[in-house]
Structure 1
Amino acid sequence: MILHITFRALWPAVEITPLDGDEFVHCSDPGTVHLPANRLFAGRTDLLLLEVDPARLGVPLRWEPGDPPIPGGPWFPHVYGPIPAAAVVEAHDFQPGPDGTFELPSALAQQ
């Protein structure tokens, strides 16, 4: 599974499309999702973490350096095209801890 962070108000949707100016949909894996969450969304309480089945995408998935790249840093799954709603197998509430930072939700950590 790969993971995509979105705003609660944007889900459910027919599909998830790349952000304006991006050629792919940014995703993470369970071991890296806290990195973009903390860099981009620290303290936000209006997020969902979508669990996406790569076998249901129907568009290319590539593992690439982060954006911006970190020398020797982790690679992230980038989906080159829209993610259909049928590829999302579960939506998890994604709340920060008391200090405003994110960790992988316990429901996903147990998988």
Structure 2
Amino acid sequence: MATIFHLALPGDWAAALQAGCYRWSTRGKSLDDGATFIHASRHDQVAMVANFVYADVEGALNLLVIDTERLVSALCDEDLDGIGISFPHIYGPLNLDAVVDVRDYERGPDGRWPEVSPQAVS
């Protein structure tokens, strides 16, 4: 199973469970607001994204573990910012059955969001 990850605010994930699909691109931006894709990460990119996008968030995030083979929407690996790092992007809503696990993602003792090892999510 190939997996990618998405960081979600707990309230956004709870709303998705009620709605039947997840539509948040990233913090504060949804497909309903004109975003064209949902940002995702590989395990070695999660901490970088969390420490950049969610640096000021108090409390835990939800780490969505996504089975890429179950995705209904298109998945593309892209470096849209031209920074030399490509990220997985989901072009359309995230179907809930593609989310095979939801984990609490909490800051480490140093106050930073921690790295996610491949063993921790397998």
TM-score class, shorter-chain normalisation, is 0.7 to 0.9
User: Which residue of structure 1 aligns with residue 83 of structure 2?
Assistant: 71
What secondary structure, in the 3-state scheme, does the structure 1 residue paired with 2:5 have? strand
Q: Taking structure 1 as reference, are residues 110 and 11 closer, same or farther at Cα in structure 2, changes over 3 Å only? A: closer
RMSD: 2.0
User: Which residue of structure 1 aligns with residue 21 of structure 2?
Assistant: 15
- Please say if 1:90 is aligned against 2:92: no
> Which has the larger displacement, 2-11 or 82-91?
2-11
Code of the residue aligned with 1:34 in structure 2: it is A
Taking CA–CA contacts closer than 8 Å with sequence separation of 6 or more, which of the two structures ends up with the larger relative contact order?
1
Shift of 1:7: 1.0
The alignment's TM-score, normalised by the length of structure 1, stands at 0.84
Shift of 1:109: 3.3
The alignment's TM-score, normalised by the length of structure 2, stands at 0.77
- What runs of 5+ residues in structure 2 fail to find an aligned partner? none
Between the two proteins, the alignment pairs up a number of residues equal to 108
| TM alignment of 1:55-70, pairs within 5 A | 55-65=69-79, 69-70=81-82
Instruction: Quote the sequence identity (%).
Output: 34
Q: Distance in 1 between matches of 2:94 and 2:41?
A: 14
- What runs of 5+ residues in structure 1 fail to find an aligned partner? none
Give a deviation string over 1:36-93, Cα, whole Å, max 9, x none. Answer: 1000112531311000011111111000115xx2532x21100000011111000010
Q: Distance in 1 between matches of 2:111 and 2:95?
A: 30
More helix by share: 2
Shift of 1:9: 1.9
